[in-house]
A = this chain, B = another copy of it.
Amino acid sequence: MPQTPSTRWCPTPEQLMILEEMYRSGVRTPNAAEIQQITAHLAYYGRIEGKNVFYWFQNHKARERQRLRRRLCARHQQQAAAAAASPPIPPVAGGSSAGVVHPAVMQLHHHHPYATSFMPHPHPNLQATTFPPVYAAAGAGAGENEKQATVGGVEEWDAADTTSCGATASGGSSDEGGAALQLPPCCRRPLKTLDLFPTKSTGGGLKDECSSSKSSSCSTSTN
């Protein structure tokens, strides 16, 4: 089954690593242009499309947050449940990783174009940062499947927004782990969402996921 009609993208370890690295470096919601570049970059390691990159970041961000929340919730519930009885309950305890292979080794080679100069040339134009969804597919002749490859055709869209890139360049460097790939200096906005809690809106707020009712997410890990 060479032509796995796989309906969904299956990231290669390299791609995954790079993506994770980027994520750790601070990339959270790349815009169209950035996604294009990332995609082009990762395409070197295997089939991949822009939407995959997009979704990956979307999901990764969401799940990272969800995980945190869950843990906090669990903690709270435990506390609430256990009440004042056993204070120092080790939060996470068992790792119990299912089967995720062990990372560690995985030495890739970054010798593709891109490397240091991630951003070829800043787009002077720009206007819409990350744009919509669906509507895009259309034109993409997209033959049938495994066809993608060259996506670099920023033509009409040309997203790359410089406006938002205001920069800040806030340090960012956390534990990039060696300068593997440094994201383009043109990251998204100064910094937007990275909070642990959605404390942004004017009054909004905080959905009670931990509540006793719903419990769909925070309920015990049995699932």
Contacts and interface: CB of A to CB of B under 8 A. Distances in A.
Interface of A: 7, 29-33, 35-36, 39, 49-51, 53-55, 58, 125, 127-142, 144-145, 147-148, 151-159, 200, 202-207, 213-216, 219, 222-223
Given A7-B127, A51-B131, A137 B31 contact: yes
Given A139-B140, A141-B144, A29 B134 contact: yes
A144 B125 contact: yes
A127 B47 CA distance: 15
27 contacts: A32-B134, A32-B135, A32-B140, A33-B137, A36-B137, A50-B137, A51-B136, A54-B133, A54-B134, A129-B134, A131-B134, A136-B157, A137-B159, A138-B140, A138-B151, A138-B152, A138-B154, A138-B157, A139-B139, A139-B153, A141-B141, A141-B145, A142-B148, A142-B155, A205-B213, A205-B216, A207-B207
B127 A139 contact: no
A150 to B, nearest CB: 8
A98 B100 CA distance: 53
Nearest to A55: B132
Given A138-B153, A141-B148, 10 more contacts: A32-B136, A36-B139, A49-B135, A54-B134, A131-B136, A132-B133, A139-B141, A139-B151, A202-B216, A206-B213
A11 to B, nearest CB: 15
A129 B53 CA distance: 17
A136 B127 contact: no
Contact of A127 (B58, B142, B157, B204): B142
B138 A147 contact: no
A130 B51 CA distance: 11
A78 to B, nearest CB: 19
